[in-house]
Amino acid sequence: MRLRQKIDFAIQVFKSILYTLQSGINLFTLLKSIRKAKDSYLNDGNRTITYAALYDETCLTIEKLKIVPKNKLSSRVILIADNSFNFISYLFALSALSKEVIIMSSQLSDLQLEKILENYPQVLMLTDNKDRLANLRTKSLIYSFAEINACVINKVSHKIRRNNGKITILSTGSSNIPKPIERKLNISKIWSPFTELISKLGLLNYSSTFITVPFYHGYGLASLILALFLKHNLHFTTKFSAKCITQFTNNRIECLVLLPSMIPKFIEIDQNALGLFRCIISGADKLEATWVSCILNQYPETNIYNLYGTTELGICSIATHTDLTNNNNTIGRFLKGIEYHLQADQQLKIRCPWIHDQCKNQYVSTGDRIHQDKNGLLYYLGRTNSSFNIGGEIIHFSELEEKINSYKSVAKTRILVSKNEMMISELNLELTLKKDSAFNEAEFRKWLNRTFPKYLQPKSLHYNDN
């Protein structure tokens, strides 16, 4: 790590603390502290804006949001959108105005959304696609980004009152119905793991990052915030495609943030693509040893890292490039300060001193079985219950089967998870039908699409009479 980089990092830390004291703990405070970053920019594949321009757009968004009833805006607000400049700007603006910003996946089905909204009656919702929410049975007040953006503002005030804005991510957790996950950080204790993360990943050695993970995912949001804090040139995409290859090829991006299942997709589009990055950071799902070996052998100039953690506790361990070189299957070592218990059945329980919640003095079960070798390296053995991680989402089989069993002609459901030729996990359904019932596969698949998000749609479907 160069001296200049260390000094810049120290200055940014000081600025963040200063602006936090002035404006409160919220994401707008972060944006305020980096707005003068020279030459730093964001790019979505079509448009490039500087950090200063993002700050100005966010201030403008704050003014435009004043058309919303104040009592709605100042309390809870739901943000549901794909990756975009609007998502970033509205998230940062809302964190300065609202007590709580609830981030929801844009992939949820109508039935899931309606179930969630039962817990948030008459809440304000902001979205990038109002048509997507048109069929919802809800009394919530819904605005699209386009409606807010169309407002004409003559004067923009950069004076924002102090606000401690809370961010809540609706995560699947151990259920297929999302639940709210709120992280309250102990600021005095977070710096040690934060600096360890930056040091082990060597992030101060890079100046540009490409994020392929949705910002509504905890891993994606954390990557966004960290890249901005480090004043990286930040590239992102709404949906990964072959076009993205051109995006980072033309811009010489150094650091790639992805879900493990994205690795074979990159290779399928362009076998040389991953070798263009100096650093690949994988997280939120199991990184297959096959993929690690592939990267180490085919792209010797590229460093690969893997992050392990839970939605509730965040990152718990880091596998460095050296760790993965020595053992392709490891999930690394615990962050310093992590307190853990490995039960007799190898179930892992963790307590993070820097996390504040109602269980702050208790050890939280990760739901994972973990082995630790004599050198302190950790290995993921699987889940402790009938659940599975698919694309960073925990799928709880029993609840999913129970919901599918409620379909009019289904008597029993069995869920199987298999790996395809690219080592990507896929859901498969085996149905036992009710006796003498009429079953239409096309209608059943339509019901699945209405009831469950994309990541819960089965790859294959087999059924037989009872």
Of residues 132 and 180, the one with the higher pLDDT is 132
Coil, strand or helix: which one is 189?
Answer: helix
CATH class of 389-465: alpha beta
pLDDT at residue 326 tops 60? yes
Tell me if 403 sits within 8 A of 415, measured CB to CB. no
Coil, strand or helix: which one is 19?
Answer: helix
The answer to which of 168-172, 203-207, 287-291, 310-314 has the lowest mean pLDDT is 168-172
pLDDT at residue 106 tops 90? no
pLDDT of 360 reads: 54
pLDDT of 357 reads: 55
Do domains 3-32+46-182 and 184-335+372-380 share one topology? The answer is yes
Of residues 190 and 192, the one with the higher pLDDT is 192
State in Å, rounded, how far the first CA of the chain is from the last one.
Answer: 65
In the block, residue with structure tokens 């409160």? 24
pLDDT at residue 174 tops 50? no
pLDDT confidence band for 452 (50 / 70 / 90): confident
Of residues 396 and 224, the one with the higher pLDDT is 224
pLDDT at residue 161 tops 80? no
Q: Tens of pLDDT along 407-425?
A: 999 999 999 888 877 777 8
Q: Rounded to whole angstroms, how far apart are CA atoms 405 and 414?
A: 10
Q: Rounded to whole angstroms, how far apart are CA atoms 277 and 280?
A: 7
Q: Tens of pLDDT along 31-83?
A: 999 999 988 999 998 899 999 999 999 999 999 998 888 777 878 899 999 99
pLDDT at residue 187 tops 70? no
Domain 3-32+46-182 grouped into CATH 3.60.15.10? no
Domain 184-335+372-380 grouped into CATH 3.40.50.12780? yes
Of residues 242 and 377, the one with the higher pLDDT is 377
pLDDT of 280 reads: 97
Q: Which of these, 57, 70, 117, lies nearest to 97 by C-alpha position?
A: 70
Predicted TM-score of the model (pTM): 0.85
In one-letter notation, the amino acid at residue 262 is M
pLDDT of 173 reads: 42
Q: Rounded to whole angstroms, how far apart are CA atoms 327 and 332?
A: 9
Of residues 118 and 222, the one with the higher pLDDT is 222
- State what percent of residues in the chain have pLDDT above 70: 91
Domain ranges of the chain: 3-32+46-182, 184-335+372-380, 389-465
pLDDT of 175 reads: 43
Q: Report H helices in 230-373.
A: 242-251, 262-269, 289-298, 321-326
